[in-house]
Amino acid sequence: MSTLNKCLFIGNLTRNVILAKTGSDLSVCNFTLAVSSLRKKPQGAPLFIDCTAWKKTAEFLTEKAAKGDQVMVEGHMEPQSWADATTGANRTKLVLHVHSLELIRRAANRDAAPNTGEAPASEETPGSKPSRNYRLNRRSKATQEQAA
């Protein structure tokens, strides 16, 4: 019997995303999404999902998104384990490793470009509608060609 580890969440970024580099110069960012239930009247606190994005996905998110923005992420869950520094006890949490993401809506209280002090650059051309959604998908070219 085969299994599937695939998750899709739509939520709001809880803080600005910070890009880091690994020792082998790979881009990585860790962020948290606040996700509420689908009920008309959400009950209780939101669910906080820890996420990790790599390479172009991490760079895209760092450049385009900021705290409060609504994003859709798709990926797979992996356990992350560590030893607690104070007690020495083993700890484990699930982390979503992002495969693709889409910036759905910018936070209402933000009029500057994310993570900079500059005004956002206009992406529209004369006679066209401005793009509201940004999308990045890490699928390989071979996979994209197969889908076409």
* pLDDT tens track for 119-128: 333 333 344 3
CATH architecture of 7-147: Beta Barrel (2.40)
What is the predicted pLDDT for the residue at 49? 93
What number is the average pLDDT over the span 82-102?
Answer: 92
Domain ranges of the chain: 7-147
Higher pLDDT, 139 or 56: 56
What is the predicted pLDDT for the residue at 33? 94
What number is the average pLDDT over the span 117-141?
Answer: 43
What is the predicted pLDDT for the residue at 145? 52
| Exposed / middle / buried, residue 40 (Cβ in 10 Å: 0-12, 13-18, 19+) | exposed
87-96 core/surface letters (b: 16 or more CB in 10 A; e: else): eeeeeeeebb
CA gap 64, 12 in Å, rounded: 14
Secondary structure letter of residue 128 according to DSSP: S
